[in-house]
Structure 1
Amino acid sequence: MRVEENFVANVFTASANTAMLAVYNPATDELIAQVPSATAAEAIEAVEIAARAQRSWRQLTSTERGACLHKLADALLAHKGQIGEALALESGKSLEDATNEAVYAADITRYHAEWARRIEGEIIPSDTPSENLLLQREPIGVISCLIPFNYPVYTLLRKIAPALITGNTVVVRPSNNTPCSAFEIARAVQAAGLPDGVVNILTMDHGVSEIVCTHPKVGMITLTGSVGAGRKVLEYSQVNIAKSSLELGGKTPAIVEADADLEKAAREIVGSKTTNCGQLCTAVERVYVHEDIYDAFVALLKQHMSERQFGDRNAEPGHMGPLINANARLNIHQMVERAIDDGAVLETGGYIPEGAGNFYPPTLLTQCRQDMEIVQEEIFGPVLPVLKFADSEEALQLANDHQFGLASVIYTENYRTAMRVANNIEAGEIYINRTPADPYQGYHAGWKRSGLGGDDGKHGMLEFTQTRLVVLNY
């Protein structure tokens, strides 16, 4: 069993709090690590250290900061084995998938390093002769980064890389379910030789996290998490009017038109729903199928879901792995039971397996209605409700009749239908004839209750800046 220490100012330090947080392997229920629960004083010190480091970090040229990020990307690749091993144990992912996540984290770090010469301002005409208006992009200061459990390695770098290239420093709180991989990333930060205090990583309880987020020297809070967590961050941000960037829940609709490639659509939708046991904010969460192909498509979905095996991915890498903990599994199973009680038909799955681990089988529900909880609330597990529609206008109406608006999917060979939906869907992303994958050069932003701000690409990087107007009268 590993025992970790918090990472502040480029060194690992034991917490004064002797009470440790336990970390379990969700595939075996085995205790695999103990990590510190930072005290309020330790968290405040980390913010103060980050604030002092930011004053000199922002004075570096963007190309110097970019060079540091390239070194960090190199260090992540050099440590990918250790990061992957830690992540596989704490998340239930296969070693291959966990190691690949470290590689993707290095990729996005390098992508943001390459923005060093591309952070642009503007020159605006003035109404006054002999005067120029300059709009500059400036760093915000200290960023509080709150990391989820589902893709904790990739998301951590997705947040800190744009924060660092734009001149900010960070205090990171990893998920208490998956903190060990974050401390392996800290070792990569150490190996890369980043200046002291630029990246600080601490595990803590919710009370101490609130102290960090409401510290007057924290200028921005960035969260990937639930709607409930997003509401808490908005409360925190009110204290000092800190900026918030929130990537929250999703309920991705997939519209399958009568002219779609049904086999491709079924295979990819099931793949989306069972990747990481459905613990993915852009995973397909509800399927709308044209009435002319409904029976045939349901049969394909049932076939692919029934064939998908589940188990410990360290023993069987090709299987679907576990949910993150027992509470998550119980909540999902209770949602399924309530859906059945409300009239949904269980086609496959829908039971709690015997034995160790937080496994849940791929589950397909038909004869669902739009007003059902299983259609309206995020499942975040391998459960797929299916509904029927008569025409594309009804499908669009049903897809938009929702509190969430993160990602969306349509399968059709008719470009007119595809573009009509693309131009009218109420979501930050639409994927045509494929399922979501979040290209990091794009922009990942939620509409409605799916969030504020966004990640990735130029616009995600600029979220970590604020503007200054310089009025130059000559």
Structure 2
Amino acid sequence: MDVINPATGERADTIEAHTESDVEAALERASAAFETWQDEPIRKREELLAAAGDVLRENKREYAETMTREMGKPISQAIAEVEKCAWVCDHYAEHGSAYLEADSHASPPGSDVKTVYDPLGPILAVMPWNFPFWQVFRFAAPHLTSGNVGLLKHASNVPGCAQAIEEVFRQAGYPDGVFQSLLIPSDLVDDIIEDERVKAATVTGSGPAGRAVASTAGDQLKKSVLELGGSDPFIILDDADIDDAAETGAWARNQNGGQSCIAGKRFLVHTDVYDEFLERFVDEIESLTVGDPTDEATDIGPQARADLMDDLHEQVEASVEAGADVLTGGEPMDRKGAYYPPTVLTDIPEGCPADSEETFGPVAAVYELDDEAAIVAKATDTEFGLGASIWTTDRERGRRLAREIDAGCVYVNQLVKSDPRVPFGGVKASGYGRELAREGMLEFVNRKTVWVE
């Protein structure tokens, strides 16, 4: 696997991929590890997870530099990502046993009925490049702690991250085989899911990847959880704090180079504040620093791969040809590397790529809408349903509208984010199932009823 630094376009490293025999050996190790790991006391598993958090903190600069080199994340954001991974380890180290506590049920006198939560076994996690540490740890922290073992098939452009994550668990003291990274092409995924030793699968990534995994898992009657794409509405109502909404909105669209499923993508603005918001929004976006991702002052680095930047630009060009206006950005930057500038489109025609597709990069589509009803209709007029953000000074109004938005999570006066303390996931083409909190931890367990008379 060649590692291409997207900031330079040059090869930074070559890492040897695993063979089919390597995969077979890994599956055998995972199966053997589960037999003993599932019987480890929960407190022991929590202690090891806390140790993993310590390893992350101790080596955060090294891990951040690996991310920056492989997929272009600005170094300050990469460090913050490693720190967030340590946080999710802390969270499940503290709360894992409580989340797995058996639930009691009403029962006849003299009987005791509970639901207990037993692990399933080896779980395959197919993970993306955009948050190459966080996406993995929000899977691994709860599910290793519940007694499962993990097999990671990471994106092919971040093999160094995959190796580093496996090393985190090794340094923390996890037994051999409890967490393994498989450096393999996507065409081996189906065979792994079909293997009887693998009990479930989870995917964070594109719609096609999710559908492929879900189809194979479904054919094998195996549990799956999908966190897929999004085209999140960022709603600015007529009573919003415009300065706050514009500042947060600019960051919600452009952090991580705009390469986020939960980034604010479609900005739906009430006509009464449209001009004011748009002016402030463009000012905020144009103030962001695009540059060398190893520089602490950089806000936006390169896109993760040159081909992804080309795809994004094709979406912009097609939208402009359909009638959209470019207020800022809109062309690849004239410099070495896969750099695309923060871009704002207005007067978005219905059905053009910026309107109907997920734009996975720093491109904001801004709409002017007449009233609350039109905003809600536009917010839900999408195949996606991952997140939404609503801006209003009337919190009760925000709560009411949140119930009308067809999405897995809605944030009022805050950007959409994943947090270890609350469930995260989507509906419609954005997937199914939940990650994080107790709900996420219970996705890959046998919810076993135990009736004792």
Tell me if both proteins adopt one fold, taking TM over 0.5 as the criterion.
yes
1:311 correspondence with 2:288: no
1:68 correspondence with 2:42: no
Which amino acid counterpart does residue 108 of structure 1 have in structure 2?
A: V
* 1:122-143, Cα deviation, whole Å (9 max, x unpaired): 222346x644333211101101
Alignment map for 1:157-306 (pairs within 5 Å): 157-306=137-286
Counterpart in the other structure of 2:36: 56
Work out the CA distance in 2 between the residues paired with 1:327 and 1:360: 12
Alignment map for 1:405-444 (pairs within 5 Å): 405-444=385-424
Work out the CA distance in 2 between the residues paired with 1:153 and 1:415: 34
User: Deviation of residue 84 (structure 1)?
Assistant: 1.6
The range that moved more, 324-333 or 408-417, is 408-417
1:466 correspondence with 2:450: no
Alignment map for 1:21-40 (pairs within 5 Å): 21-40=1-20
Counterpart in the other structure of 1:124: 105
Quick check: 1:284–1:435 contact (8 Å CA) kept in 2?
yes
Quick check: 2:96–2:142 contact (8 Å CA) kept in 1?
no
Work out the CA distance in 1 between the residues paired with 2:153 and 2:290: 30
Which amino acid counterpart does residue 366 of structure 1 have in structure 2?
A: T
Which amino acid counterpart does residue 429 of structure 1 have in structure 2?
A: C
Counterpart in the other structure of 1:383: 363
Counterpart in the other structure of 1:46: 26
Counterpart in the other structure of 2:426: 446
Structure 1 residues 416, 123: CA separation in 2 closer, same or farther (over 3 Å shift)?
closer
Quick check: 2:319–2:349 contact (8 Å CA) kept in 1?
no
- Superposition TM-score, scaled by structure 1 size: 0.92
Consecutive aligned runs of 4 or more in structure 1 exceeding 4 Å deviation: none
**Sequence identity percentage:** 31
Quick check: 1:214–1:236 contact (8 Å CA) kept in 2?
yes
Structure 1 residues 415, 103: CA separation in 2 closer, same or farther (over 3 Å shift)?
closer
Quick check: 1:408–1:427 contact (8 Å CA) kept in 2?
yes
Which amino acid counterpart does residue 329 of structure 1 have in structure 2?
A: M
Aligned-partner SS, 2:184: coil
Work out the CA distance in 2 between the residues paired with 1:463 and 1:443: 11
Aligned-partner SS, 1:271: helix
* 1:440-472, Cα deviation, whole Å (9 max, x unpaired): 111111011111111111111111212112232
The range that moved more, 383-392 or 296-305, is 296-305
Which amino acid counterpart does residue 42 of structure 1 have in structure 2?
A: D
Work out the CA distance in 2 between the residues paired with 1:451 and 1:299: 35
User: Deviation of residue 316 (structure 1)?
Assistant: 6.1
Quick check: 2:385–2:408 contact (8 Å CA) kept in 1?
yes
Aligned-partner SS, 2:97: coil
- Superposition TM-score, scaled by structure 2 size: 0.96
Work out the CA distance in 2 between the residues paired with 1:93 and 1:448: 29
User: Deviation of residue 277 (structure 1)?
Assistant: 0.9
Work out the CA distance in 2 between the residues paired with 1:235 and 1:40: 22
Q: Which sections of structure 2, spanning at least 5 residues, go unmatched?
A: none
Quick check: 2:71–2:305 contact (8 Å CA) kept in 1?
no
Structure 1 residues 266, 399: CA separation in 2 closer, same or farther (over 3 Å shift)?
same
Aligned-partner SS, 1:289: strand
Aligned-partner SS, 1:388: strand
User: Deviation of residue 383 (structure 1)?
Assistant: 0.5
Quick check: 2:316–2:353 contact (8 Å CA) kept in 1?
no
Q: Which sections of structure 1, spanning at least 5 residues, go unmatched?
A: 1-20
Counterpart in the other structure of 2:353: 373
* 1:146-202, Cα deviation, whole Å (9 max, x unpaired): 111011111111111111110000111121111212212222222212111111112
Counterpart in the other structure of 1:358: 338
Which amino acid counterpart does residue 53 of structure 1 have in structure 2?
A: A
Quick check: 2:126–2:152 contact (8 Å CA) kept in 1?
yes
Quick check: 2:74–2:256 contact (8 Å CA) kept in 1?
no
- Alpha carbon RMSD of aligned pairs, Å? 1.5
Work out the CA distance in 2 between the residues paired with 1:316 and 1:334: 30
* 1:304-332, Cα deviation, whole Å (9 max, x unpaired): 22332312221463241111111111111
1:87 correspondence with 2:93: no
The range that moved more, 306-315 or 37-46, is 306-315
Quick check: 1:39–1:208 contact (8 Å CA) kept in 2?
no
Which amino acid counterpart does residue 346 of structure 2 have in structure 1?
A: T
1:107 correspondence with 2:80: no
Which amino acid counterpart does residue 79 of structure 2 have in structure 1?
A: T
Which amino acid counterpart does residue 101 of structure 2 have in structure 1?
A: E
User: Deviation of residue 224 (structure 1)?
Assistant: 0.7
Aligned-partner SS, 1:152: coil
* 1:409-443, Cα deviation, whole Å (9 max, x unpaired): 11111234212211211111111112122221111
Structure 1 residues 319, 470: CA separation in 2 closer, same or farther (over 3 Å shift)?
closer
1:151 correspondence with 2:131: yes
Counterpart in the other structure of 1:7: none
Counterpart in the other structure of 1:321: 301
Quick check: 1:312–1:319 contact (8 Å CA) kept in 2?
no
Quick check: 1:79–1:188 contact (8 Å CA) kept in 2?
no
Aligned-partner SS, 1:408: strand
The range that moved more, 293-302 or 322-331, is 293-302
Work out the CA distance in 1 between the residues paired with 2:326 and 2:129: 29
